[in-house]
Amino acid sequence: MSEYIEKIISEVKAKNPSEPEFHQAVEEVLESLEIVLERHPEYRSAKILERMIEPERVITFRVPWVDDQGEVQVNRGYRIEMNSAIGPYKGGLRFHPSVTLGILKFLAFEQVFKNSLTTLPMGGGKGGSDFDPKGKSDNEVMRFCQSFMSELFRHIGPNTDVPAGDIGVGAREIGYLFGQYKRLRNEFTGVLTGKGLNWGGSLIRPEATGFGAVYFAQEMLKTRGTDFEGKTVAVSGFGNVAWGAVMKINELGGKVVTLSGPDGFIYDKDGISGEKIDYMLKLRASAQDIVEPYAKEFKVEFHPGKRPWGVKVDVAMPCATQNELDGNDAKELVKNGCMCVCEGANMPTTIEGYKVFDSSKILYAPGKAANAGGVATSGLEMTQNSMRLPWLRDEVDAKLQQIMKNIHDTCVQTAERFGKPEKYVVGANIAGFLKVADAMLDQGVV
Ligand code: NDP
Ligand code: 2IT
């Protein structure tokens, strides 16, 4: 690593202590950019990297609400407005007890590169709260969302910052957030994406992240002259992204044999299809945080406290959360002959895991490229809102497929151009960076 990059990384660590996930995301991206900075000294002299690692704006706020027992509860809310060089800030909201400033900064940083790759005009942002949706009643979730939006509304808008869902934030939460925004602003606009179909939402948005990740994996497999037909697949998580991925893998002739939760993983050798996919929705809606009930319902194996990466599969798709696949898991996958790892979640692989994949022949695509279908379809929702015209399901799906193919091809071509053939991480980081960096150069020191 060059002295210059090393210096920036150590400054990031010194300036932002106790934000390990942010350090990790920055380190992974900057390592790939070394070669770009050698070829383009103009980025260095304009201090593009130094500016990109500093959020344009960080908002933190108190979220007080009253629970069903009449007790006052207090959570912390955040919105990180990372970079607006190529469009309004865009990115999801995460409600999970593990949420910290560092986690949201890593997600916002990744989002900048991801959104750039989609080819749509969207800057990068992320937000959320340490609110724990587990075991909360519908009314409690509503009161929380209303309180959260009572502060957030002053910072967002359809041309400023457009939040969406992420872990713990789905259609129900987006509904409550939208209702409160509309009430406070007296405006019906496309300020959030992931909206209900009757009030400005887009067809395919719920499925888009999982579908998009599978379209991306399909393109990866194509480079080795194969496809999903007859392939065995390990999926982790059981939420929105996992659900979309499982449906599309089935459609393409693949067999998904695992799902996971914080409690462990299930192994279903016959494949997760049909009514079992519908059961995933029930599991998620129960807000219990566990995948074990699937094993009881369908009489399959449950492995408590374990992750699914030791199972022998052809393709692995981590779709749960960050750092859920480490160096040992990566070694297991490689040893068992897995040919493709395609990330539905954001940064699910640790740096050690990445190094194992990088030094093997496995096809490995990072989340910022492979899971961009979610935010890309959010971009399509924004377009439909601006036109005041909804598109048909097939139209949105065709656009999503085309976008995922473009992202894939851009990653492959960029990796080749910079001397790292088949390295999707390098291709994604460089291609995502170039568009944003050039826009920043054009716009002067801001
Ligand atoms: P959901 O809330 O629908 O599901 C998240 C899944 O991950 C659940 O199974 C959840 O279980 C599990 N999970 C969450 N936190 C942890 C944890 N700390 N340890 C173990 N398991 C955990 O979220 P999504 O499916 O929307 O998100 C999954 C991943 O995909 C995340 O990385 C997200 O950032 C990423 N992503 C999402 C997009 C979207 O459009 N929704 C777009 C692009 C990426 P539980 O909540 O019960 O703990
Ligand atoms: O991580 C992500 O890309 C998302 N959670 C989706 C963001 C969005 O604005 O649709």
Give per-residue pLDDT as tens, 146-191: 999 999 999 999 999 999 999 999 999 999 999 999 999 999 999 9
Say whether both 144 and 218 belong to one domain. no
Q: Is residue 424 assigned to a domain?
A: no
The answer to whether residue 407 sits within a structural domain is no
In a domain, 377, yes or no: no
pTM for this entry: 0.97
Rounded distance from Cα 322 to ligand 1 centre (Å): 9
Residue 354 and residue 240 share a domain: yes
Mean pLDDT score across all residues of the chain = 97
In ligand 2, the atom with minimum distance to the C-alpha of 107 is: 1
Atom of ligand 2 nearest to the CA of 205: 10
Domain end call among 188, 218, 236 = 188
Q: Are residues 46 and 115 in the same domain?
A: yes
Based on the fold, state whether residues 42 and 102 are members of the same structural domain. Answer: yes
Residue 423 is assigned to a structural domain of this protein: no
Q: How far is CA 336 from CA 40, 333, 359, 430, 437, in A?
A: 41, 5, 16, 31, 40
| pLDDT tens, position by position, 308-351 | 999 999 999 999 999 999 999 999 999 999 999 999 999 999 99
Pocket test for ligand 2, best of 166, 204, 319, 404 (most atoms within 8 A of CB): 166
Are 92 and 182 in a shared domain? yes
What's the total number of domains in the chain?
A: 2
298, with CB counted inside 10 A (0-12, 13-18, 19+), is middle
429 in a structural domain:
no
8 A C-beta contact, residue 275 and residue 253: no
Cα distances (angstroms) measured from residue 401 to each of 111, 209, 227, 379 = 20, 11, 15, 14
Alpha carbon distance 61, 53 (integer Å):
22
- What's the CATH code of the domain at 11? 3.40.50.10860
Mean pLDDT confidence for 280-301? 93
Predicted confidence band of residue 359 (pLDDT cuts 50, 70, 90) = very high
Q: Is 234 in the pocket of ligand 1 (CB under 6 A)?
A: no
> Of the ligands numbered here, which is closest to the C-alpha atom of 347?
1
**Which ligand is nearest to the Cα of residue 260, counting in written order?**
1
- Domain holding 298, by residue range, is 208-365
Does 169 lie in the same domain as 215?
no
126 catalytically annotated: yes
Question: Which atom of ligand 1 is least distant from the CA of 322?
Answer: 32
What pLDDT score does 1 carry? Answer: 81
Q: At which of 337, 365, 393 does a domain end? A: 365
> CA 121: distance to chain centroid?
18
- 286 close to ligand 1 (CB < 6 Angstrom): no
Q: Is residue 387 part of a domain?
A: no
Check pocket membership of 241 for ligand 1, CB cut-off 6 A: yes
Is residue 445 helix, strand or coil? coil
Rounded average pLDDT over 426-440: 98
Residues 17 and 165 in one domain: yes
446: in domain: no
- Encode pLDDT of 201-252 as tens digits: 999 999 999 999 999 999 999 999 999 999 999 999 999 999 999 999 999 9
Q: Is 346 in the pocket of ligand 1 (CB under 6 A)?
A: yes
Q: Looking at the domain assignment, is residue 280 inside a domain?
A: yes
- Residue 95: HSE in the Cβ half-sphere, 13 Å Cα cutoff: 23
Structure tokens at 138: 């519908």
Is 75 a residue whose pLDDT tops 90?
yes
pLDDT digits (tens, 9 = 90+) for 99-153: 999 999 999 999 999 999 999 999 999 999 999 999 999 999 999 999 999 999 9
- The yes-or-no verdict on residue 287 having pLDDT over 90 is no
User: Which pLDDT band, with edges at 50, 70 and 90, does 289 fall under?
Assistant: confident
Phi, psi of 390 (to 5 degrees): -80, 145
**Distance between CA atoms of 57 and 238, rounded to whole angstroms?**
33
Protein residue with least CA distance to atom 37, ligand 1: 166
**Three-class SS state of 389:** coil
Tell me how far apart the alpha carbons of residues 143 and 25 are, in angstroms, rounded to a whole number.
34
Query: 25 and 111: one domain?
Result: yes
Which of 90, 105, 114, 126 is an active site residue?
Answer: 126
> Helix or strand or coil: residue 125?
strand
Query: Which of 209, 347, 385 should be mutated for ligand 2, with most atoms under 8 A from CB?
Result: 209
Q: What is the best residue among 80, 111, 343 to mutate for testing ligand 2's pocket, by most ligand atoms within 8 Å of CB?
A: 111
Ligand nearest to the CA of 114: 2
Q: Are residues 167 and 316 in the same domain?
A: no
CA of 115 to the centre of ligand 2 (A): 9
Q: Following DSSP, what letter does each residue of 74-101 receive, concatenated?
A: EEEEEEEEEE-SSSSEEEEEEE-TT--H
Of ligand 2's listed atoms, the one at least distance from the Cα of 372 is 3
Q: What atom of ligand 2 comes closest to residue 114's alpha carbon?
A: 3
Distance 168 CA to ligand 1 centre (A): 7
Pairing of strands 72-83, 124-129: antiparallel
Whether residues 272 and 331 fall in one domain: yes
Among the three residues 188, 219, 241, which one is the final residue of a domain in this structure? 188
The CATH number linked to 244 is 3.40.50.720
Query: Is 212 near ligand 2, meaning CB less than 6 Å away?
Result: no
Q: Indicate whether 120 and 216 sit together in one domain.
A: no
In a shared domain, residues 154 and 276: no
Distance from C-alpha of 6 to C-alpha of 17, rounded to nearest angstrom? 16
